Structure 1
């Protein structure tokens, strides 16, 4: 077991992807602090880990406030004597288009995803630095944060912000031997279950059957367990040299996302006036416009579902 003797905190780990991460870390030998806002769900997560021979304890609290971050780290230290790994997975959705999104819709998602990641990482990194632990910070991003998605202003902002923070933390924590990376999962979740395009894959997963190869290979779309292996790898000693990266994983596919880089550079003596932009740069923009949102290929005929009447 590659994580024997390590201690991990996984936020939002009562169910779904977070639970898969916690279970895999435990399977690899780590003692795990599980977190959820629902006491019964958190208890069931702990029980599932213990039933498989692992070790876990639960903290029932909402992620976002500094008090929760302190409680998570303190529970790890009080219960297991240390903290080596933090996985920030907790999140909520409040999807709606821009002109219908309320302040509460925006603030709630930013509070859990972005602020919650910040407060938990700040607390964990402070502990790791003070105790000279070469820890592992693993933050969960999303394709929405990389590409944008209709109806997810708040979620896109939070997930893009998380990747930006990870790059900064990789710089700030490197001297202490602490790594910080973002994982961009593509998997069957409560969110993807509502998207008709993924219906055949979600139905197969719910039935305990293999997903069609089109989803696993062509789209890189799989199960929660397909993501969990990368979490354990990044938490391991073997990943000591990997930091500041955004790594996508799903199904049979793994990807390294590039950091934003200029795709074209142009110069104009004396600076870019409105006239110069019209004459010289407008055609350059037209030829180099970057796409937004995810572009999915058509579903094979055998995987299409009839439209609801």
Structure 2
């Protein structure tokens, strides 16, 4: 039996990497999925991936910081399937700049996508769940950068860390309705899409004032792939996690638990 049979999910930022894989994983577990993204091509690709595997999905293109887009996504989900059981707040803008290199407007924009988008979607979906008396699940995608100080990535780290207490606060507000709100923390991720693998290799090979040696610092033998995250998010979306709220599950291969000077993958 599929754990999410009969449930409807919305995934924001349904890209080919983490967001798209989570959307596909929810669909594989039986959910019907609304895939949103700024890029129509990206959202459509994730829908095609789901449909090719026998699932049900449709795409809505738009900006998560636009209240009209949020209302449209919710309205289309209700028109198509009549309910919303799961929300995954994953939309993000990767704009790696530091304190002295990040323009103020870019900083504000990055924070707004991460936190403002989560606020708008959570408020809209939470209201539907309350109105329909659905004990739903809202999952906020965090990052190990939310829990640690990463230099040269000020907007992303600040936005993701803000989601930690956003998760807790909203969980307390919605607890009386049986609606659960939790965080999910991934880490540096090895893409499964060949195009993204090449892009990641190009990014990590660029000179940086703050070089990151993910391989040498990672406790396990490899970085996680997006598929490694799916079981945890499916669990949080399912009724099996019915008494978990205001919490976080980390899938990072031990990255945040590691004592800082130890180099697990030494030559």
Is 1:243 the counterpart of 2:245? The answer is yes
Which residue matches 1:228?
A: 230
Is the CA contact (8 Å cut-off) linking 1:86 and 1:121 kept in structure 2?
Answer: yes
Q: 1:136 to 1:98 in 2, by over 3 A?
A: same
1:180 Cα deviation after fit: 0.2
Alignment of 1:113-124 (within 5 A): 113-124=114-125
Which residue matches 1:300?
A: 266
Q: Distance in 2 between matches of 1:294 and 1:177?
A: 39
Q: 1:294 to 1:44 in 2, by over 3 A?
A: farther
Is the CA contact (8 Å cut-off) linking 1:136 and 1:179 kept in structure 2?
Answer: yes
Other structure's SS at 1:148 match: coil
1:157 Cα deviation after fit: 1.3
How many residue pairs match? The answer is: 251
Is the CA contact (8 Å cut-off) linking 2:215 and 2:222 kept in structure 1?
Answer: no
Q: Distance in 2 between matches of 1:64 and 1:294?
A: 36
Per-residue CA deviations over 1:229-277 (Å, capped at 9, x if unaligned) read: 11100000111100011211135x698x9xxxxxxxxxxxxxxxxxxxx
Q: 1:173 to 1:142 in 2, by over 3 A?
A: same
Q: TM-score, normalised by structure 2?
A: 0.86
1:219 Cα deviation after fit: 7.2
1:18 Cα deviation after fit: 0.3
Is 1:24 the counterpart of 2:28? The answer is no
Per-residue CA deviations over 1:141-199 (Å, capped at 9, x if unaligned) read: 11111112011111111111111110011111111000000001022256965336347
Per-residue CA deviations over 1:59-100 (Å, capped at 9, x if unaligned) read: 011211212221221121111111000000010022212112
List alignment gaps of at least 5 residues for structure 1: 201-213, 258-292, 302-309
Name the stretch that deviates more: 174-183 or 42-51. Answer: 42-51
Q: Distance in 1 between matches of 2:266 and 2:160?
A: 31
Name the stretch that deviates more: 242-251 or 188-197. Answer: 188-197
Is the CA contact (8 Å cut-off) linking 2:215 and 2:223 kept in structure 1?
Answer: no
Q: Which has the higher contact order (CA 8 A, sep 6+)?
A: 2
Other structure's SS at 1:180 match: strand
Q: TM-score, normalised by structure 1?
A: 0.75
